Structure 1
Amino acid sequence: FNVDYTKVSDPSYFNDFDNKYGSSTDGYATQKFSVGYAVQNFDATLSHKQFQVFDDTSGNSYAAEPQLDVNYYHNDLGPFDTRFYGQAVHFVNTNSNMPEATRVHLEPTINLPLSNTWSSINTEAKLMATHYQQTNLDWYNSNPQNNKLADSVNRVMPQFKVDGKMVFERDMEMLAPGYTQTLEPRAQYLYVPYRDQSDIYNYDSSLLQSDYSGLFRDRTYGGLDRIASANQVTTGITTRVYDDAAVERFNISVGQIYYFTESRTGDDNITWENDDKTGSLVWAGDTYWRISERWGLRGGIQYDTRLDNVATSNSSIEYRRDEDRLVQLNYRYASPEYI
C-alpha cells in the first residue's frame, strides 16, 4: 500500500522544494493512493489518482477512478530483454460538462543491450497501442474554438531508439594527486511517427522539463494522451572528478537535441505546434560541486531556441548533516512561454 500526496495552496505554484517533485510533471500535483502486488518478473498496481492542475482558472480537474498498471519483464531472452506494460484507466471530471474517458494502453518493448568495460549501446523497439472511449462530449464539441473530439479513438505508434555511451578516464596526478577524471560522451537517435491526436482530450499529459538527463527521454509529455512525433538525435557529454576515495567531487554535463523534423501531436492548443523550426533547438546543462563532506552546490539551465530565451534554470546550495538531515536553499526559474 502506498500514498503519494502532494497538494498546494498557491494556485500559481510551479515547483516544490526538491527537484524530484518538480521535474517530472510540472503542470500538476498528484494525490495518489495505491495498492500493489509483485512477484518475480511481474507487478501490478491498482490506484486512485486526483490531479491538481496549476494555474487552472476553469475549476476543472480530473481523477483516475480507478487506474490499473501492469508490468511483465523477461530478460536474457537470448541476447534480448523484453517488457510488456499495460494500463487501463477511467477519467472523471469535477465539472459535469467536461469530457470523460476510459483509456486502455498496451506497450510491448524489446531491447538489445550490448556493453563492455568502457562502452554500451542499447537498441530498442516498442509498439504503443491506445484505445479511447470518450463520453460526455456534447458541451465541449459545441464550442467552435475546441478541437472536435471523437467517441472512439485508436492510436498505434511504433518507436525506435538507439542509445550509445562511452566512458574514458585519466589520472589527474599533475593537478590533484589521487584524483581521477572521466569523459563520458553519449548519443541517442529516436524515431516516433506522427499521429494526429487532436480528437483526444488531454486528461493527464503535461510538458516535461528537459534537464540534461531529460534530453534523452523518449517522451516530451508525461502521461499518455500526448505522444509527440520524433526524428531526432540527442548528443551530450559529461565529465566527472573523483577523489582518492572514489567519491565524486564535481561533474558538469551539456547536451542538445537536433530535430530533423518538427515534433508535433496535432493539438493546436500546444504552442510548439505553431512553430515548424528544425535543427538544434534545445540545449541543457547541469553541474554539481561537492565543496566538502557537508556542503554542495547544484545548477542547471535549459535554453530553447524556439523561445530565443532560457526556458528553465535552477540553482541550489545544500547542507547535509547526515543521510537523514538536509537543508537546501533552491531557486528555480521557468519562462512563462514555456509553462
Structure 2
Amino acid sequence: MSSHAPALTSQPLPHRLRPLAASLALVWAATTPWTAHAQGQTGHSLWHSALPAPQLKPSAQLQEAVDPTLRGQLPSYIRAEQISGQADINAVLEGGAELRRADTVIRADRVEYTLADDTVHAQGNVHINRAGNVYQGTALKMQVDAFQGDFNNATYQFLATQGHGDADRVQFLDRDHSVVYRATYTTCLRDDSASWTPDWMIRADRIELDHVEDVGVAYGGALEFKGVPILPVPAISFPLSDKRKSGLLPPTIGIDSKSGVEYSQPYYWNIAPNRDATITPMLMSKRGVSLGTQFRYLEPGYNGALDLQYMPDDKLRDRARWAYGFKHQGSLNAPLGDLGLKLNLNRVSDDNYWRDFSSLSGSRSSYQQRLIGSDAALSWTTGRHELSLSAQRWQVLQDVDAPIAPPFNRMPQLRWNYNTNDWAAQGWDVTLMAETTRFEADTWDQRNNPDNGQRSYSLTSLSRPFLLPGGFITPKVQLHAANYQFDDFSASRPNNKSLAIPTFSLDSGLVFERDTLALSRNYVQTLEPRVFYTYTPYRDQSMLPLYDTALADFNFGSIYSENSYTGRDRIADNHMVTLGLTTRYLNPTDGAEVARFGVAQRLRFADQRVGLGYDTLGQKGWSDILIGAGVNWNSRWSTDALVQYNRDTQRTARSAISGRYTPGPYKTLSAAYRYQRENSLQVANQGSEQIDFGWQWPLSGGRKDTFGAAPSGGRWYSVGRLNYSMYDKKLVDAIVGFEYDSCCWIGRVVVERMQNSRSDSNTRLLFQLEFVGFSRLSLGADPLRSLQENVPGYRPLRDRSGPVPSRFSNYD
C-alpha cells in the first residue's frame, strides 16, 4: 500500500494526461530513504546517520473512499508501449495500455480515450479494477468519471465477499449500480484446473448489483448445488458484503421423535438500521404449522425485543399453542430526576409447552423452563435517592410426576435506596435501604394462600475498612428490621409480626508475597490468610413464611458472609469464625493469575437454631472443609477443582473437577466430574454423580485453521457434548454433530437427545446447509443454536470479527 502512495500524492490536474512511469520514477526518487551506508558510500552514510530514521505516516490522500466532490478534479495517468493522439483532445494507447484515475484502473491491449466526453473504448484483454472490484472481458465502452458503459463477455469478482461470476454483458449504470446479463454468481474460490466448476452458484437471466446497499438481486434463474438445480429463483436477493440485509436465512430440516419431520425457513427483514425482524414459519408433520416472529428495536433512549410463537392447531394436543416474550428497557432524563422503565413479560399457552416446543428455532431460553417469570419496574433517581416500583408474577408449568410449589408473586414492591458515596471519601461504607412488598401465591387448589401478606423490610449497614500495608481489617454492623402483615391469622400466628435483628462482623486478612520458582518458571507467589468473624443473636422466625428465601450455596463466596440464607425472611443466628488461606501464583510480567489454591473452614461457637424447616442446621464445632484450586497451565490447558469434605463422616460431601484444552481455533476439549451427596450424614449413596464431556475438533482435510477463514480443501469437524449420570447409570443429555466447511458452503448434521424428566426424553435429528456469501447465519437458527447453548467453548465456523477488506488489499 505504501509503495503506491507517491503516485496518489500528485497535484490534481483536471483532464491533463501524464506518462505514469515517468511520474512514478520522479516521486520515487524524491521519497526513497538513503541506503548509502549499506552500499559502502561513506559520504552519504554521514548524512544518513545525522537524519532521524524515516517513519511511515498516514496520507490524507490514501482514503478508503474518494470524495465525490473532488473526483472530477483528479488527474489521469496513462501508460503504454506506444502513445499517440492530439493534446487535450484524445489519446490512443497500444501495447500494455493502462489508464488510471482515483480508485479506477483500466488495462487493455488497445485503449482510445476522448477527453471531451471522458470516454474510453478498450479492446482485447480488458481489465477494470474499481475500488478492489475486478472486471475482465473483451470489449469495453465507458465514461470514466460517471462509470457508465457496457462490457462484453465479462467476468467479475467483488472484494468484500470474493463473490464472482461470468456474464455475456455487464452494463454499468453508475459507480454503485450495474446489471449483468445471462450471468452466474458464486463465492466458491476458483482453482487452476480447466475442469473447475463451483460447488454452488446462481444462474440467472439478469442480476442487478447495488453497491450502496451491498445487495444483488437475481431474476429468472436457479440455485445449483453440485451441478444440480435445487431451488428455482424467479427473484432472489443476496448480500455483497457483511452488511445486514433482508432475505432468506439458511433453512433447517429436522426429525423429532415426537413432532415428526420439521422444516423451518427463517426470513430476515432489515426494516431500518435500528430495527429488524426475523419471521420463521415451521412445518411439523405430526403437529402442524407454526409461525415464530422476533422484532428488535434500538433507539437512543430505549431498546427492546418482541418474540411471538403461534400454532393454530396442534394435532397431538388438539388445541392452539402460543407463547410470547417482550423485553423493553428505557431511560429518560427529566429535570426532577432520571426515569427508567424495564419490562420483561413472558407467557406460554399450557403446562406442556416447555416439553413440546423448547427447541423451536429462535425461541427464548425461558420457554425451555417450567418456571416462567414476568416483571416490570419503574425507577426514579435524583441526587442521593433512588425509588423504584416493581411487580413480578410467575407462571408454573406443572408436571404430575414432578410438581413444583408455586413461588410468591410480588404485587407490587416499592423500594427506596439512599446513596452515601460521599461518606466513602471519609473511609465509611454506609447502606440505607427500605422496601415494602405485597406477596401473593397461586396454589394448586385455591386462589388464596394463608401466607399471602405484606412484608416491610429495612437494612442499615455501617462499616469502616482499614487498609494497612500488607493487610486489611473491616468492622461492620447491620440492623435488619421487618414487619409482616398477613391476610389470614390463627391462634398459632397473629396477623402482625415485627422483629429487629442486629449483626456484627469483623473481616481481616494479610497479604504476603515473594518471588519464587516453580516448574522452571519465575512467579510472584502470594500467601493470604483470612479470618472472618460474625455474630447474630437468635430471634424466633419460625412463624414467618418463606417469600423469597433459600439456603445459600456453600462455596468460597458464601463462607465469608454473615447470613447462611438468601432473601429477607431468615436471618441465621450465626456465631462463628471462618478461617481461610489462599495462595496465588502470578505472572511477574503482567500480573495475570496463573494458579490459585485455597482452603477454608468455619468454627461455630453455638448450635444454629434458625432454619427453613427442611435444611440441616449448623452444629457447634467445625464445618465441612472447602478446598479449591484453579490452574492455567499454559494458553492451552486449564483446570478447576472444588471439594467439600466432611470430617465427621470422613467422606466427600461434594466435588467438582473440570478441565479444558484449547490448542487452537475450532479446537476445544472440555471434561467435568460433579458429585454431590444429598445428605452427608445419612445414606451414602444418595445424591448425584455426573460426568460431562464436550468437544469441537477438526477431523480430516483442510490445512488452514484461522477464525473467519475458509479451510484449504474443505474440512470435517466433530462437535458435541455428553452428560452421563453414574447414579442413574444412563445418558442424561447428549448432542453429537458433524460440520463440513468447504470453501464456499457449510453443512451441519446434529443429533440431539434432551431429558425432559426422569422418564421422558426427546430426540431430534437436524440438518442445515449454508451457502457462504449467499445465505447468512442466524444465531437463533437450529442446529447452530443447539451447539452454541450446549457445547462449552464452541465457535461457529467462519466466525470472523475483522474489518471490511480495504480497496488497497486488492490494489493494481
Give me the TM-score of the superposition, normalised by structure 2: 0.35
Alignment CA distance shift 1:129-1:250 (3 Å): same
* Higher RCO (C-alpha under 8 Å, 6+ residues apart): 1
Report the 3-state secondary structure (helix = DSSP H, G, I; strand = E; otherwise coil) of the residue aligned with 2:424.
Answer: strand
Q: Which residue is equivalent to 2:626? A: 284
Once the two structures are superposed, residues 141-165 of structure 1 have per-residue CA deviations (whole angstroms, 9 ceiling, x without a partner) of: 8xxxxxx443111011000000001
- Select the residue among 228, 238, 245 that pairs with 2:572: 228
Change over 3 Å in CA distance of 1:157–1:91 after alignment to 2: same
In structure 1, what is the Cα distance between the partners aligned to 2:346 and 2:607? 34
Point out the structure with max Rg over C-alpha. 2
In 1, Cα distance between equivalents of 2:671 and 2:655: 14
Q: Which residue of 2 aligns with 1:240?
A: 584
Q: Give the counterpart letter for 1:118 in structure 2.
A: G
Partner of residue 111, structure 1: 463
Question: 2:443 aligned with 1:91, yes or no?
Answer: no
1:250-297 Cα distance to aligned partner (Å, 9 max, x none):
101110010001122165x23424x7x311123212211113335422
| Corresponding position: 1:181 with 2:529 | no
The equivalent residue for 2:428 is: 80
Call closer, same or farther: CA 1:56–1:261 in 2, change over 3 Å.
Answer: farther
Amino acid in the other structure paired with 2:608: S
Amino acid at match of 2:486: Q
The CA distance in 1 between the partners of 2:509 and 2:550, in whole Å, is 29
Q: Name which of 467, 474, 494 aligns with 1:150.
A: 494
Structure 1, 215-224 or 45-54: larger mean CA deviation: 45-54
Q: Which runs of 5+ in 1 are unaligned?
A: 11-27, 142-147
Change (3 A) 1:270 1:149: farther
| Contact 1:307 1:337 survives alignment (8 Å) | no
Quick one: distance in 2 between partners of 1:218 and 1:320?
Answer: 39
Q: Is the 8 A contact 2:454 2:485 kept in 1?
A: yes
- Cα distance in 2 between the residues matched to 1:33 and 1:58: 24
Asked whether the equivalents of residues 303 and 309 of structure 1 are also in contact (C-alpha less than 8 Å), the reply is yes
RMSD: 3.5
Structure-to-structure mapping, 1:125-144, within 5 angstroms: 125-137=477-489
Distance 1:174 1:270, change over 3 A: closer
Q: Give 1:3 shift.
A: 6.5
In the alignment, the residues of structure 1 paired with residue 345 and residue 669 of structure 2 have an alpha-carbon distance, to the nearest angstrom, of 22
d(CA) in 2 for partners of 1:230, 1:88: 26
> What is the distance in 2 between the residues matched to 1:306 and 1:225?
31
Query: CA shift at 1:226, angstroms?
Result: 1.3
Q: What is the Cα deviation at residue 33 of structure 1?
A: 4.4
1:262 alignment partner in structure 2: 607
Residues 534 and 576 in structure 2, CA contact (< 8 A), matched pair in contact too = yes
Matches of 2:345 and 2:470, distance apart in 1 = 41
**Matches of residues 190-205 of structure 1 in structure 2 within 5 Å?**
190-205=534-549
Query: Cα offset for 1:125?
Result: 0.6
Contact 1:150/1:200, CA 8 A, preserved across alignment: no
Distance 1:5 1:233 in 2: 43
Please give the TM-score of this superposition, normalised by the length of structure 1: 0.78
Partners of 1:125 and 1:233 lie apart in 2 by: 16
Q: Is residue 48 from structure 1 mapped to residue 48 from structure 2 by the alignment? A: no
Cα distance change on mapping 1:167 and 1:307 into 2, 3 Å: same
1:121 equivalent to 2:473? Answer yes
Q: Distance in 2 between matches of 1:53 and 1:86?
A: 33
> Is residue 63 of structure 1 aligned with residue 63 of structure 2?
no
The answer to whether the Cα contact below 8 Å between 1:242 and 1:250 also exists between their aligned partners in 2 is yes
For 1:5 and 1:282, locate their aligned partners in 2 and report how far apart those are by CA, in whole Å: 41
- Seen in structure 2, the aligned counterparts of structure 1 residues 60 and 329 have a Cα distance that, compared at 3 Å, is same
Residue 603 of structure 2 contacts residue 623 of structure 2 at CA under 8 Å; is this kept in 1? yes
1:286-319 CA-to-partner distances (Å, cap 9, x unmatched) read 2111133354222212235577654433233346
Cα-to-partner distance string for 1:101-134 (whole Å, 9 max, x where unaligned): 2111111111111002311110001110001111
Q: Which residue of 1 aligns with 2:559?
A: 215
- What is the percent sequence identity of the aligned residues? 24
Structure 2 SS opposite 1:215: helix
Residue matched to 1:22: none
Q: How many Å apart are 1:202 and its aligned residue?
A: 1.1
Q: Answer yes or no: is 1:317 the counterpart of 2:659.
A: yes
CA distance in 2: counterparts of 1:6 and 1:309, whole angstroms: 44
Question: Greater CA deviation, 168-177 or 244-253?
Answer: 168-177
Evaluate the alpha carbon distance shift between residue 175 and residue 292 of structure 1 in structure 2; reply closer, same or farther with a 3 A threshold. Answer: closer
Cα distance 1:311–1:156, how it changes in 2: closer, same or farther (>3 A)?
Answer: farther
Q: Distance between the aligned counterparts of 1:63 and 1:124, measured in 2? A: 33
**Contact preservation (8 Å) 1:211, 1:301:** no
Query: How far apart are the structure 1 equivalents of 2:533 and 2:598?
Result: 19
Conservation of the 8 A alpha-carbon contact between 2:375 and 2:391: yes
Distance of 2:477 and 2:464 partners within structure 1: 9
Over 3 Å counting, the alpha-carbon distance change for 1:315 and 1:175 in structure 2 is closer
Residues 1:301 and 2:643 are matched in the alignment: yes
Contact 2:417–2:434, Cα closer than 8 Å, also in 1 = yes
Q: Deviations over 1:192-236 (max 9, x none)?
A: 000111111111110011112221011111111111101100010
1:287 and 1:266, CA in 2 relative to 1: closer, same or farther beyond 3 A? Answer: closer
Aligned partners of 1:196 and 1:266 also within 8 Å: no
Which secondary structure state, in structure 2, belongs to the residue aligned with residue 90 of structure 1? strand
Contact 2:488 2:495 in 1 (8 A): no
Q: Relative to structure 1, is the Cα distance of residues 44 and 194 closer, same or farther in structure 2, using a 3 angstrom cutoff?
A: same
Find 2:597's aligned residue among 252, 263, 271: 252
- The structure-2 alpha-carbon separation of the partners of 1:176 and 1:71, relative to structure 1 and needing over 3 Å to count, comes to farther
Question: What secondary structure does 2:559 align onto?
Answer: helix
* Code of the aligned partner of 1:314: A
Aligned-pair CA distance for 1:78: 4.2
2:624 and 2:637 map into 1 onto residues whose CA distance is 31
Q: Distance in 2 between matches of 1:321 and 1:4?
A: 40
> 1:19 corresponds to which residue?
none
Q: Please give the alpha-carbon distance, in whole angstroms, between the structure 2 residues aligned to 1:36 and 1:281.
A: 42
* Structure 1 residues 62 and 320: CA distance shift in structure 2, 3 A: farther
Q: What does 1:5-24 align with in structure 2 at a 5 Å threshold? A: none
Q: Which amino acid aligns with 1:49?
A: Q
Contact 2:570–2:611, Cα closer than 8 Å, also in 1: no
Q: Are the structure 2 counterparts of residues 31 and 118 from structure 1 closer, same or farther at C-alpha, using a change threshold of 3 Å? A: farther
